[in-house]
Structure 1
Amino acid sequence: MFCESLQICITTKPGSSISTLQTDRCYNFYSEVTVIRSCSLARAAWNADVKPLEIPRQWYNLIADLSVKPPPPLHPKTFEPIKPEDLSPLFPDALIKQEASNDRFIDIPDEVLDIYGLWRPIPLIRAKRLEKLLDTPARIYYKYEGVSPAGSHKPNTAVPRVYYNAQQGIKKIVTETGASQWGSSLAFACSLFGLDCEVWQVRASFDQKPYRRLMMETWGAKLHPSPSSIIETGWKILQMDPSSPGSLGIAISEAVEVTAMNADTKNCLGSVLNHVLLHHTVIGEACLKQMEAFGETPDFIIGEIQSLQTAVKTNKLKNKFHLEIRPKTRECAGGGSNLVGLSFPFIREKLSGKINPVIRAVEPAACPSLTKGVYTYDYCDTAGMTPLMKMHTLGQNFIPDLIHAGALRYHGMAPLLSHVYELGHMEAISIPQTECFQGAIQFARSEGLIPAPEPTHAIAATIREALRCRETREAKVILMAMCGHGHFDLTAYEKYLQGNMVDLSFEEENIKESLAKIPQVVASSQNN
């Protein structure tokens, strides 16, 4: 069956001449057809040769195919290349091994695959209504990760990371969360493996997003508004500012402090690290097969550079890392996992000469790490406890303006993504937030999905390219990353629709001042 109005392909039982990309084992009592998962969202090609898509059984590690390997992370105290044992206070052994791996493929455990099956395979959608609205000959596809239980791509890594912690006997996972996509994903994963989950949520988000908070509590997580008086870091901040709305950096510091005091507890960051990016390649591996099933090869792959915002002032703490937590105020955490997850398998095919798409990263004009930053070693956390990474950075003390895509406010970038960009395998542009939300409204009113603020950057860049195709009459194929829905971010849409959203920028002098403050010992290490 094929519903022309909804563009939904439904397959008959095995042996039929019609098949689709995603299937679920449920049968319509009237027509005895296998219905595709999320069929109200999934649109598939009418193609008798298409076989049902399976969940990828391996994660892909791009490092194996790079002729120039990425620079090593440095120890935050000695500034020497990090050793595996230096990471053991933070991560279980399996994740440390993945972090340093040069293997091309890493098997996905069966237990993880079983949970992935709750929402994967996920739809690759042809945006025909958006194409019609833009009057463009371009063909636009988007990979929609918003069908996961948590509503974003984050469970792709939350599930395996909790699994590996559980395998090592860890009893509790502690994390931070800002807009709460990561916190809700980790709470979901912990609930499935029976681990305790403790989340330090930025107080402003704790108060403004009660439904995200309720999601986490429904999955059994214990939440704390951050800053909190029950942890030394938060208590000191509240002494200075009793009405502090908090920041992700404060929440990270409180989560790290809790981790440092408990041997059976580990900490999980939402992005940045190689093993985190690795887990998200299930997106691109599946999409390669889906594009092949459509008979298409993308000319452009466009995605937002997603990262996390932090700014914190803290004091010395005694901890199991045997490192001094220095007073600092900075932006930190990391990003790029959704774009990496979609694009890295395609970059593999590009390196082999099979395809030649343009990979385009899109970042906020208010925080342009790739387009304006410097490629150097910089701190990746407020306290100076995590390794130093070589990445594109605006300087650890650069504080971006408040934008509604809060997950994109970060001074740096995921080191592996930065390395790939530096090698010329990816390009980058920046777009102001009003243009992004204008594109989001066009997308919502044509395609029906309300995107989260972060992927609005990819939407805006896609619209730019589609309009260019209208002028040149080129029928280019554009593949866009869509990391999740915006059902809990409607305040941002309200501000745009009411005309209260403004574009924010940055001062070049502020970046120069921030870059000048990178410690010389760190800056000189990039040549080692």
Structure 2
Amino acid sequence: MNKIILNEKELPKKWYNINPDLPAPLPQPKNPEEKDNISKLPQMFSSGVLEQEMSMERWIKIPKEIRKIYKRIGRPTPLFRAKGLEEMLDTPAKIYYKREDYSPTGSHKLNTAIAQAYYAKKDGAERLTTETGAGQWGSALSLACSLMGLECKVYMVRVSYNQKPYRKTIMQIYGAEIVPSPSTDTEFGRKILKENPEHPGSLGIAISEAIEEALQNEKAYYSLGSVLNHVLLHQTVIGLELKKQLEIAEETPDIIIGCVGGGSNFGGTVLPFVKDKIDGKLDCEFIAAEPIACPTLTQGEYRYDYGDTAGMTPLLKMYTLGHDFIPPSVHAGGLRYHGMAPQIALLVKENIVKARAVSQKSVFESGVTFAKAEGVIPAPETCHAIKVAIDEAKKCKKTGEEKTIIINFSGHGLLDLQGYEDYLTGTLPENNK
């Protein structure tokens, strides 16, 4: 079976909330000393997503309007068997990849962008502000706002703004306004630029700028593409579809792999499987693949920290490199974030999820290998998961084990060709350090 395609009627009707099934209680957000950042949350987020953020309900109904748009953008997405890659690696392992690149913007990000825009519109908002690294999230929210009749303002990390100009073009086609971050549009951006006019930017800084603007506009909300509970909740359509597809294929996963920046595509893929593992019904490794240049899970501390650089968010208990961390300018812009989704961080702390860091050159090498074998060019972020999958498949070749390996193919790389060009010409740094 080369691919498993679900009928539209099989699209999940509910999102899965991991909170009641976590192996330990999730540490709650808290205020820093002498600040009340939590009280600002209703000004920043719609009531719909705030309710979901704090919910302990295991299943949350997906509104019909959202399900209707999910179908329009290509959900359910297909699950492909990577037979070409298996043959190239000469491995007894079976490798599958979930095609989230099938969405109009080329990644999984629309799953939550549509939901967040829907709830903002329902609250009477007229505008959403956000940040973006590589531009996948910015593209997704730009389209979602267009579909919902909302304005969209995107603060794009400056190094990615320069590296990936066509992401900016896509956002503009959908009607969004894009500025490089740090920018002169906000007080915090101006402060950073005064200190360093050539600052490359970071997701933490871009988040601060987007929050600052949202708090100053009563008709605007802030929208986040990863990290928070409601974002991972919306992404569970991936894992719920995957469960059905594996049942059709009569496969039990041995390893599920996704790249991690803030944790949304990885969480959306593995969270629906976690309870089965905790209950002893599934013997499966969950591997989160991150860049060596931004090793949040493999080298970060598990502690409370801000989600942004300016300290405007509540403190979140997570693995963090520090909210003032400025990552190297690797091409995988979506993975250059100092922190990690609290739900994923807890699962790593409890040894339910494993983390692995890989180098920039090795991920592009894996992306080229995958493209030659399967014909699909992966995003640099996705290449991290592919690198780990290839390593696991090679282990199976040595041991003779016929493991079933699942990759969440989180996005295509057709707008990331500069990175591939640098790799092919030998000018790509190992980790941009």
Which bracket does the TM-score occupy, shorter chain normalised? over 0.9
Q: Give the secondary structure class of the aligned counterpart of 1:430.
A: strand
1:350–1:229: structure 2 CA closer, same or farther, 3 Å change rule?
A: closer
Q: Give the secondary structure class of the aligned counterpart of 2:380.
A: coil
Alignment of 1:67-466 (within 5 A): 67-78=23-34, 85-118=39-72, 119-242=74-197, 244-306=199-261, 335-466=262-393
1:473 maps to a residue whose letter is G
The corresponding residue for 2:18 is 62
For residues 505 and 236 of structure 1, the distance between their equivalents in structure 2, rounded to whole angstroms, comes to 26
| Per-residue deviation, 1:457 | 0.9
| Structure with more relative contact order (C-alpha pairs < 8 Å, separation 6 or more) | 2
Q: Give the secondary structure class of the aligned counterpart of 1:455.
A: helix
Equivalent residues of 2:30, 2:315 under 8 A apart: yes
| Per-residue deviation, 1:231 | 3.5
Equivalent residues of 2:361, 2:431 under 8 A apart: no
1:289 maps to a residue whose letter is K
**Deviation string, structure 1 residues 3-22 (Cα, Å, up to 9, x no partner):** x9xx46xxxxxxxxxxx633
2:210 maps to a residue whose letter is A
Structure 1 gap ranges (5+): 9-19, 25-52, 307-334, 507-528
For residues 313 and 121 of structure 2, the distance between their equivalents in structure 1, rounded to whole angstroms, comes to 22
| Per-residue deviation, 1:288 | 0.2
Q: Give the secondary structure class of the aligned counterpart of 2:44.
A: coil
| Per-residue deviation, 1:481 | 1.2
For residues 298 and 161 of structure 2, the distance between their equivalents in structure 1, rounded to whole angstroms, comes to 32
2:387 maps to a residue whose letter is A
**Deviation string, structure 1 residues 372-413 (Cα, Å, up to 9, x no partner):** 222111222111110101111223343332222122122221
TM superposition score normalised by structure 1: 0.78
1:78–1:70: structure 2 CA closer, same or farther, 3 Å change rule?
A: farther
The corresponding residue for 1:325 is none
For residues 403 and 177 of structure 1, the distance between their equivalents in structure 2, rounded to whole angstroms, comes to 15
**Deviation string, structure 1 residues 129-177 (Cα, Å, up to 9, x no partner):** 0000000000000111001111100001000001000001011111122
1:256–1:210: structure 2 CA closer, same or farther, 3 Å change rule?
A: same
TM superposition score normalised by structure 2: 0.94
1:304–1:205: structure 2 CA closer, same or farther, 3 Å change rule?
A: closer
Tell me, yes or no, if structure 1 residue 477 matches structure 2 residue 404. Answer: yes
| Per-residue deviation, 1:200 | 2.1
1:57 maps to a residue whose letter is K
Q: Give the secondary structure class of the aligned counterpart of 2:117.
A: helix
For residues 376 and 137 of structure 1, the distance between their equivalents in structure 2, rounded to whole angstroms, comes to 41
| Per-residue deviation, 1:282 | 0.3
**Deviation string, structure 1 residues 433-489 (Cα, Å, up to 9, x no partner):** 211111111100000010000111111111111011111111110011111001111
Tell me, yes or no, if structure 1 residue 22 matches structure 2 residue 6. Answer: yes
1:256–1:130: structure 2 CA closer, same or farther, 3 Å change rule?
A: same
1:230–1:459: structure 2 CA closer, same or farther, 3 Å change rule?
A: closer
For residues 361 and 478 of structure 1, the distance between their equivalents in structure 2, rounded to whole angstroms, comes to 13
Aligned residues: 432
Equivalent residues of 1:127, 1:142 under 8 A apart: yes
1:503 maps to a residue whose letter is E
The corresponding residue for 1:511 is none
Q: Which moved more, 1:98-107 or 1:379-388?
A: 379-388
| Per-residue deviation, 1:244 | 4.8
Structure 2 gap ranges (5+): none
| Per-residue deviation, 1:55 | 0.8
Equivalent residues of 1:76, 1:385 under 8 A apart: no
Equivalent residues of 2:330, 2:432 under 8 A apart: no
Rg comparison, structure with higher value:
1
CA RMSD of aligned residues (A): 2.1
**Deviation string, structure 1 residues 54-82 (Cα, Å, up to 9, x no partner):** 111111011111242111111134478x8
Query: Percent identity, aligned pairs only?
Result: 49
Equivalent residues of 2:132, 2:155 under 8 A apart: yes
| Per-residue deviation, 1:93 | 1.1
Q: Which moved more, 1:367-376 or 1:55-64?
A: 367-376
